[in-house]
Chains A and B, each alone.
Chain A
Amino acid sequence: MDSTEDEQKQLVGSEQEVNLKDLSFGLTMTLMGMGVTLLTLVLLIFVIYIMNKLFPFKKKEEKKD
C-alpha cells in the first residue's frame, strides 16, 4: 500500500517537474525570441538611417526613373 502511494507521489512529482520544465522552456523562448527579434529590427532601423544619410536620394535619380 505504502509503495503504491510512493509511486503515485513520484509520478505526480515528475509530472509537475515536466510542466515546470515546459513552462521555463516556453518563457525562455518567449523572452529570447521577442527580445532578439526586436533588437535585430531596431539594429536594422539604425542601419537604414545610416545608409539613408550616406546615400541620400538625389533628384537626378527621379529624372532617370
Chain B
Amino acid sequence: MEFFNSALSALTQGFASLTWQSAVMILIGCVLLYLGIAKKIEPVLLLPIGFGIVLGNLPLAGLSASDEGGIINILYKSGILTELFPCLLFIGLGAMIDFGPMLGNPVVLIFGAAGQFGIFLTLLLALALGFPREQAVSIAVIGACDGPTAIYVTSKFARELLPAVSIAAYSYMSLVPIIQPPIMRALTTKKERATLMSAGEKKVSKTVKLLFPLVAGIITILIAPMGAPLMGMLMLGNFMKESGVIGRLVDVSQNTLTNLVTLFLGLSIGASMLGGNFLKWETILVFALGLLAIALDTVTGVLIGKLMRVLSKGKINPLLGAAGTSAFPMSARVVQKEGQKANPRNFLLFHAIGANTGGQIGSVMAAAVMLAIMSGLMH
C-alpha cells in the first residue's frame, strides 16, 4: 500500500504542482499556436514560441529557460544571453536583402531615419511612466519594428522584459498592414497619396552593389561601434550575396541558418515566458508602448514624407515615409497598396522597398546609438 501511495503521489506530482499562472500561460501558448497555424500570423516564430511557452510552464519538466542545465536553458544561455541568435539572424537577413532599389534612389534613405522617431518619442513616454532607463530603452526599441534588434538591445539591458519585448516586436511586425494604413490615410489627402512616381528601376552597377555593404559597414561601425555585431553581420550577409562567388554559403544563410536560429530563438523566448514573471500589468504596458512606438514611427515617417513632397515640388509620394520602418517587406507592400488605391496607375513598390531597406539600416543605427549612450552612462 505504501508503494502504491508513493507511486500515485509521484505520478500526480505534476498536476499538484501546476499553478494558476502556469495554466494561464499554457493557454496563452495555445492561443499563439492557434494564431500561427489557423490565422497564419508569423507562424515561423509563433509556433516555436507558443510551444516553448507550453513546455516552459509545465511544472517539474525542467524545460523552462531558467531550469539550470535543461536543454532550453542551454539554448537560452548560449544564444540569447550572449546575443548570438539575433546576430546570426542578421547574416541571413543581409543575405536576403537587395539594396538595389535604395542604391538607385538613395534619397529614400532619409525615410529610414524618419521611421525611427517613434523609438525616441516612446522612450520619453516610458520614462515619464516611471520605467527605469534600461527598461525604457528596451521598450522603445520595439519601435524599430525589427525583432532581432529588439532582442539584442533588451538582452543587454532588461532581460526581465525579453519575453514581452520580443513577442511585441514580432507580432507588431506582422500587424503592420493593420496598424499603418489608417494613420497614412489620416495624415494625407487623396491628392497627396495619388502622387505619381516613376515606376522604372534605376539600374546600379554590380561594383556599387558589392562595395556598398563593405563601405556602409565600415562607416556605420566607426560612428557607432556598439552596433557592430548587428551591422557587421547584416553587411556580411549582403556582401556574401553580392559577391556572387559563394552561392552555397548564401543559400545556407538565407535558409538553413535563419530557419534553425528562428526555431531556437522562438523556443528559448517562449520557454522564458513563465507565469510568475509575465502575467503583470507591466507586460500590458510594454505591449501598449510598443504599439505606440510603431504608430509614431508611421506618423513621423509620413510627416517627413509630406515635407519631402513639398521640397521636391510634388515628385515624392508622402506615403513612402511609412516604409521607413524596418518591417521588411510588409511596410513597402502597404505603401504600394495604399498608393494604388488612391491612383491605380501608381506603382510605388520599387521606391518603398528602397525606403524599407533604408529603415533596416536606420533601425540598427538608432539602436547602436542608444547602446553607445547607455554604455557610456553605465561606465
Contacts and interface: CB of A to CB of B under 8 A. Distances in A.
A48 B208 CA distance: 8
Interface string B177-208: 00000000000000000000000000111111
Interface residues of B, number: 43
B215 A42 contact: no
Contacts of B207: 51, 55
Contact of A37 (B136, B205, B369): B369
Given A34-B117, A42-B109, A58-B205, 11 more contacts: A23-B128, A25-B377, A26-B123, A30-B121, A32-B369, A37-B362, A37-B365, A40-B224, A47-B219, A55-B208, A61-B203
Contacts of B208: 48, 51-52, 55
B120 A41 contact: no
Interface centre among B120, B133, B137, B223 (most CB of A within 10 A): B120
Contacts of B145: none
Contact of A51 (B128, B137, B215, B224): B215
Contacts of B110: 38, 41-42, 45
Interface in A28-62: 28-30, 32-34, 36-38, 40-45, 47-49, 51-52, 55-58, 61-62
Interface string A1-34: 0000000000000000000001101111110111
B375 to A, nearest CB: 12
13 contacts: A23-B128, A28-B373, A29-B123, A33-B120, A34-B120, A36-B223, A37-B369, A44-B361, A45-B109, A47-B215, A48-B106, A58-B205, A62-B203
A32 B224 CA distance: 12
Contact of A26 (B109, B117, B127): B127
Given A25-B133, A25-B377, A47-B216, A41 B113 contact: yes
Contact of B109 (A27, A28, A41): A41
Interface residues of A, number: 31
B71 to A, nearest CB: 38
Contacts of A30: 120-121, 123-124
B314 to A, nearest CB: 21
B113 A34 contact: yes
Contact of A36 (B123, B358, B369): B369
A31 B109 CA distance: 19
A17 B275 CA distance: 35
Interface centre among A33, A34, A45 (most CB of B within 10 A): A33
A19 B370 CA distance: 20
Given A33-B366, A52-B103, A40 B127 contact: no
Interface centre among A29, A38, A43, A47 (most CB of B within 10 A): A29
B112 interface: yes
A57 B205 contact: yes
